Amino acid sequence: MKFYASIRIDVRRIQTLKEGADSVGNRTKAKIVKNKMAPPFKIAEFDIIYGQGISREGGIIDMGVEHGIIKKSGSWFTYDGDQLGQGMENSRRFLRDNPELAADLERLIKEKLGVGVVKPAEAEKSPKLKAVDG
């Protein structure tokens, strides 16, 4: 079936996420091995939390650090001078408890990547598009 498939993804657990002695989830790596629809060999890493699914807050922290929005110093994560927490789990919990901050960080990341934001010049060219005020 390897040759018949249009898309093949290699999904592997790369780390067990622990809170104390308890296992709370997995750090997972997904690699596109074959893709007839788009470029192959892309890699994604994300956290899967038991009972919740893919961690939205973990993705925000990872992307924020990758694009310089969130600063990581040792195990501490900071944003705009405010400490999010020591370690990924504490920072994830802080963002879960503060959804306004999580939404703000997500908006900044999307703006930096140019995802979901329509520039006013493009909105004027196309009557179907509306400009998003950010």
Q: pLDDT of 64-112, one tens digit each?
A: 999 999 999 999 999 988 899 999 989 999 999 999 999 999 999 999 9
The pLDDT score that the predictor gives to residue 123 is 56
pTM assigned to the model: 0.76
The class that CATH gives domain 55-134 is alpha beta
**Where do the domains of the chain lie?**
1-53, 55-134
Is the pLDDT score of 129 beyond 60? Answer: no
pLDDT of 1 strictly over 80: no
Task: Give the N- to C-terminal CA distance of the chain in Å, as an integer.
Answer: 47
What pLDDT, on a 0 to 100 scale, did the predictor assign at position 114?
87
Token pair for residue 46?
A: 């994300």
Q: Of the candidates 129, 112, 74, 77, which has an alpha carbon nearest to the alpha carbon of residue 98?
A: 77
